[in-house]
Amino acid sequence: MNYRHAFHAGNFADLVKHAAVLAVLAQMTKAKAPVTVIDTHGGAGAYDLGSEMARKSGEAEAGIGRLMALPKVPEVYQPLVEAVRKLNGGKGLRLYPGSPRLVVEALRPGDHYMVCELRPDDFALLEQTLKGAKAKVTALMDDGYVMAAQRTPPTGPVLALIDPPFERADDYDRAATAALAMIHRNPGAVVMVWTPLKDLETFDGFLRRLEQVALPPTLVVEARLRPLTTPMRMNGCALVILNVPAELTEPLKQAAGWVVEALGEPGGEARVWSLA
């Protein structure tokens, strides 16, 4: 499977992930303290759903397209729908915001966004996306795992998004290692790790890596579109959120539940449970 995000922008997994990111940021920016957001794999920042890559997969039509067509959008998805409408100027659905665009639109002047992207072409697009941001922005064409482990502020509110392409055999190991390193540096950091769901053993192995240390309150949000019986397919997605704000458990259940009910197949299931 090609995980380059332009193929998958606006798909079911983006809906769950981006609804969660916006919900966490809404909670964190209620307080006056400046927030730092760390994004390990930023991608291009925004995506043209009319591009050859997006049209080839057709995933946006089955994801954000279905959501935007609803007469009544579930509450947890309203901020995402509003962000998509704003990006498109209220005129149809041509562009989809990646996490960088969503984050900088949600942050305040005193906040800080640190993002990495290794692909030169996507990094150039990312820099364009971030122009004019209200918050301080640090964009690096560098290894996001290393940046996250080394540059997490030791104090203050931090949200980290670890969202690798899973093209490398060690992405699960490195994602777990980076998450634990960030919690070690800042025990109160909210760390959100996105993973595809192909087979249960791969996902369980990732969770076991995290459980090598005592974890803070950690929520696992699974959106299984179909049973995990065909490991060569992306059968769903999961978010593992360390230091999850307690107020977000129900909204995250709603996010995963709508995706499975509206977009899933027989045998699909939304599961939200505590790892620690």
Of 221, 225, 241, nearest to 233 (Cα)? 225
Q: What are the percentages of helix, strand and coil residues in the chain, rounded to 5? A: 45, 20, 35
- In the sheet that holds 36-39, the strands lie side by side as 136-140, 112-116, 36-39, 158-162, 190-197, 236-242, 218-224, 269-274
Domains and CATH numbers, the chain: 5-274 (3.40.50.150)
pLDDT of residue 1: 42
pTM here is 0.95
Looking at residues 6-12, what average pLDDT do you find? Answer: 85
Q: Which residue has the tokens 């360390």?
A: 242
- Residue 3 pLDDT > 60: no
Residue 154, Cβ density class (10 Å: 0-12 exposed, 13-18 middle, ≥19 buried): exposed
pLDDT tens per residue across span 167-209: 888 999 999 999 999 999 999 999 999 999 999 999 999 999 9
pLDDT of residue 2: 43
pLDDT tens per residue across span 207-263: 999 999 999 999 999 999 999 988 888 999 999 999 999 999 999 999 999 999 999
Backbone angles phi and psi of 215, in degrees to 5? -95, 150
Three-class secondary structure of residue 202 per DSSP: helix
Could you tell me if residue 5 is left (phi over 0), alpha (psi between -120 and 50 degrees) or otherwise beta? alpha
Torsion of CA 38, 224, 55, 5, to 10 degrees: 20
pLDDT tens per residue across span 26-74: 999 999 999 999 999 999 999 999 877 667 667 899 899 999 999 999 9
pLDDT tens per residue across span 93-136: 999 999 999 999 999 999 999 999 999 999 999 999 999 999 99
- Residue 89 pLDDT > 60: yes
